[in-house]
Amino acid sequence: MERRQFLAGAAALSLLGTSSSRAGAQTAGALEKTSVTLGVGGKPLLYYLPLTIAERRGFFKEEGLDVTVNDFGGGAKSLQALIGGSVDVVTGAYEHTIRMQAKGQDVRALCELGRFPAIVIAVRKELADKIKSPADFAGLKIGVTAPGSSTALTAQYAMVKAGLKANAAPLIGIGGGASAVAAIKQGQVDVISHLDPVIAKLEADGDITVIIDTRTEEGTKALFGGSNPAAVLYVKKEFADANPNTSKALVNAFVKSLKWLHGASPEEIADSVPAEYQLGDKSLYLKAVANSLPTYSLNGVLTMEGMQSVLNTLKILDPEFAKADIDLAATFDDRFIKG
C-alpha cells in the first residue's frame, strides 16, 4: 500500500472517528435497541479482526451497545441466521448482500471492514508436484470455512476461471480455527481455501504450497481483475430503517475499530485478542497480523468499482446472475458511514 494512500485513509478515519465519538455521545440515550445480536462465521479469523477489536477494546460499549456475538463457523450460516431472524446484524462477506438482492431479500452493507478478500488457496505440500493450479482441482477435496461462504466462492471462481466447472470439486466445511489446521495436517482435504491465522500456521509448519493469495492488492487483482471488497457489516433494510440510531452506533464502533487497527502495532493487536485465536504461536500470529493489516478498509466506504467486481464474479460463477438486474447502489446503505 502506498504511503500517500495510507495517510489519506488514516486521515479519513480520524475525521470519521471524531464525528463518530460525537455521534455516539449524542445518540447513546436514543438508541432504539441497546442489546444487539451479531452473527459471524469464524470469528477467530483475521478476516473478522475489526469485530474482535470493536468488542475487546470496548467500542461497542462506548456507543451504548451491548452486543452478543454468535459464531456460526461459516459465513453462509450467519447469513441464514439473519434471514431466519435469530440475529439482528452480521459481519460477513459483501457478496451475500448481492445474493440476497437477487432473491428479493433487501439486505444491505452498512460499513466495509475488509477491502481485499485475504483468502489464500493452497494445496497440501505432498501434492504440490501434481497440483500446480486450479485447473488441476477436479475431483479433489477442497476445505473451506463452510459451503456457501466467501472461501467457497473464491475456490469455485478460481476453478471456473481455470476452465473447470464450479462443481468440479467437492467443498468440505472445515470451520475457522484449529479444526481447519487439522483438516490439512490429517489429510482430510487436498486443497484449502482459507484465511489467516490458519494459513499462516500451515505455511509456517510447511504443510501447504500457496497457489493463490488475495492478502495483497496484487494477488487480488490477479484473480479478480480489480479490487474486491471482503467483510462488511450487513443488515436487513427493515432493521436499519427501524433502528437508525442503533445502526449508526454500530457503524461508529466499527469505524473506531478500523482507525485503531491502522494505528496499532501487531503486538498491541495480538494483546487485544483472546489467546486461543493465536493457535498456540504468538510470534506466528504477529506475522499474520502484519500481513493482514493492509487488507482492512481505510474508511469503511465501499466503492462502486469494488461492488461491480464482486457482481462480475457472481455472474461468471452462477447462471442466475447472468441476466439478473441487480441495483448495486441498493446493496450499500451509506447514510450511517457518511452521515
Nearest alpha-carbon partner for 182 in 210, 169, 196, 201: 201
85: Cα within 13 Å, side-chain hemisphere? 1
CA 139 to chain centre: 27
What per-residue confidence (pLDDT) applies to 39? 98
Assigned C-alpha cell, 300: 469503511
Q: CA 99, CA 183: separation in Å to the nearest integer? A: 29
What per-residue confidence (pLDDT) applies to 133? 97
- Dihedral (Cα; 239, 250, 291, 160), 10-degree rounding: 10
What per-residue confidence (pLDDT) applies to 2? 40
Domain boundaries, the chain: 3-116+228-338, 120-213
What per-residue confidence (pLDDT) applies to 8? 44
CATH number at 3-116+228-338: 3.40.190.10
Which residues pair with residue 193 across a beta bridge? 121
What per-residue confidence (pLDDT) applies to 319? 77
Helix axes 75-84, 150-161, angle to 10 degrees: 120
What per-residue confidence (pLDDT) applies to 155? 97
Nearest alpha-carbon partner for 74 in 219, 171, 156, 168: 171
User: What are residue 195's phi and psi, to 5 degrees?
Assistant: -135, 170
What per-residue confidence (pLDDT) applies to 4? 39
- Within 10 A of 186 (CB to CB), how many other CB atoms are there? 8
Instruction: Please provide the DSSP assignment of 104-171 as one string.
Output: T--EEEEEE-BSS---EEEEEGGGTTT--SGGG-TT--EEESSTTSHHHHHHHHHHHHTT--TTSS-E
What per-residue confidence (pLDDT) applies to 51? 98
Instruction: With H, G, I as helix, E, B as strand and everything else as coil, classify residue 66.
Output: strand
What per-residue confidence (pLDDT) applies to 19? 44
> Residue holding cell 468488542?
55
What per-residue confidence (pLDDT) applies to 12? 47
User: What are residue 53's phi and psi, to 5 degrees?
Assistant: -65, -45
Q: Would you state the CATH architecture of domain 120-213?
A: 3-Layer(aba) Sandwich (3.40)
- Within 10 A of 55 (CB to CB), how many other CB atoms are there? 19
Q: Is 301 exposed, middle or buried (0-12, 13-18, 19+ CB in 10 A)?
A: middle
pLDDT in tens, the chain (339 residues): 443 343 444 444 544 444 444 444 444 449 999 999 999 999 999 999 999 999 999 999 999 999 999 999 788 899 999 999 999 999 999 999 999 999 999 999 999 999 999 999 999 999 999 999 999 999 999 999 999 888 999 999 999 999 999 999 999 999 988 999 999 999 999 999 999 999 999 999 999 999 999 999 899 999 998 889 999 999 999 999 999 999 999 999 999 999 999 999 999 999 999 999 998 999 999 999 998 999 999 999 999 999 999 999 999 888 778 778 899 999 999 999 986
Nearest alpha-carbon partner for 252 in 92, 44, 71, 26: 26
Instruction: With H, G, I as helix, E, B as strand and everything else as coil, classify residue 38.
Output: strand
Q: CA 255, CA 297: separation in Å to the nearest integer? A: 9
Max Cα separation, the chain? 61
- Within 10 A of 29 (CB to CB), how many other CB atoms are there? 9
What per-residue confidence (pLDDT) applies to 26? 41
Nearest alpha-carbon partner for 156 in 212, 207, 78: 212
Q: CA 21, CA 312: separation in Å to the nearest integer? A: 37
Q: CA 169, CA 173: separation in Å to the nearest integer? A: 13
Q: Are strands 208-213 and 89-93 parallel, antiparallel or unpaired?
A: unpaired
Assigned C-alpha cell, 337: 458511514
Domains 3-116+228-338 and 120-213 equal at CATH topology level = yes
Which residues pair with residue 71 across a beta bridge? 40
What per-residue confidence (pLDDT) applies to 83? 96
What per-residue confidence (pLDDT) applies to 148? 85
- What would the pLDDT profile of 185-200 be if each residue is shown by its tens digit? 999 999 999 999 999 9
